Structure 1
Amino acid sequence: MNKQRSELFKTGAPLPEMFSQYFIGQAYLQPLTDKGGPIFNVTFEPGCRNNWHIHHKGGQILLCTEGRGWYQAWGEEPQELHPGDVVNIPPEVKHWHGAAKDSWFAHLAMEIPAEGAANEWLEPVDDETYGKLK
């Protein structure tokens, strides 16, 4: 397991309960700005991932900054993520993202502002699906 970390941005505090209920494992949240669209540094401990979810109206952009992680859109193959990778998630796409089993992972999450934008949290990524990832 990769225990060494190269934090580009501060890890922040454990997710508040209103979000942590939608994660398997521990993640941390550090707000970076609230100007324009808010930007957050989200850090996942090894094995942590969020539930399937949908960003209605606005979508989301992930800028990967640390470690190794995964992104998967519903009906598509998972994509391995590394620092420097960018994931553009269009609105209305069911997806999940999180750390690899053996690595911390961090990304900047940017919500795309849109009138009526909302986030819908869905079912967890089950252990069988996650366990198949390398």
Structure 2
Amino acid sequence: MSDFDNDNIFKKGVPNDAFAGYFIGQSYLNPLVDVNDFLAFVANVTFEPGCRNNWHIHNAKSGGGQILLCTAGKGWYQEEGSPAVELKPGSVVEIRPGVKHWHGAQKDSWFSHVAIEVPGEDTSTEWLEEVDDEHYGSL
């Protein structure tokens, strides 16, 4: 963990309790901008080994979506109907609005990414079912 802490340039932050119901395992959140003073929410999200969020969709009437900038550790990203993609420092993921997906840490690694919520009209996140242990364990 100490090597990961050194690599995690935007730092772990605090337990992500507000969204704990949408994650398996513990995640941490470190907002990097004040959403009230800026156009987009930008935060470092850290996942303990094995932690992942539920399947979800970023909805928007126009614009919207999310960008992930992977900064430390190893993770996974998967869109519905496609194989999971390994994430590592330097990986960039563009998530279009309306795409069902999930992301999180690999089972043997901490993982961090900067999440950028792309501004849009009538944006919302639709949280769906968990990524079950059988599916996750097969990666």
- TM-score w.r.t. length of structure 2: 0.91
**Which of 115, 122, 135 is the aligned partner of 1:109?**
115
Q: Which residue of 2 aligns with 1:8?
A: 9
Q: 1:80 aligns to what?
A: 86
Which of residues 93, 99, 109 in structure 1 aligns to 2:99? Answer: 93
Percent identity between the aligned chains? 60
Question: Which structure 2 segments of 5+ residues have no match?
Answer: none
> Is the partner of 2:49 in helix, strand or coil?
coil
Q: Deviations over 1:80-102 (max 9, x none)?
A: 00000000000000000000000
The one-letter code matched in structure 1 to 2:40 is G
For residues 17-71 of structure 1, give each alpha carbon's deviation from its aligned partner in whole angstroms, at most 9, with x where no partner exists.
Answer: x311000000000000132211000000000000000000111000000000000
**Which of 125, 129, 132 in structure 1 is aligned with 2:135?**
129
CA distance in 2 between partners of 1:71 and 1:94 (Å): 11
Letter in 2 for 1:10: K
Whole-angstrom CA distance in 2 between matches of 1:7 and 1:90: 26
Structure 2 matches for 1:43-58, cutoff 5 A? 43-57=46-60, 58=64
Give the aligned residue type for 1:29: L
Q: What residue is the counterpart of 2:23 in the other structure?
A: 23
Query: Distance between the aligned counterparts of 1:74 and 1:56, measured in 2?
Result: 15
Runs of 4+ in 1 over 2 A off after TM superposition: none
Q: When the two structures are superposed, what TM-score results if normalisation uses the length of structure 1?
A: 0.95
Gaps of 5+ in 1: none
Q: Distance in 2 between matches of 1:3 and 1:52?
A: 30
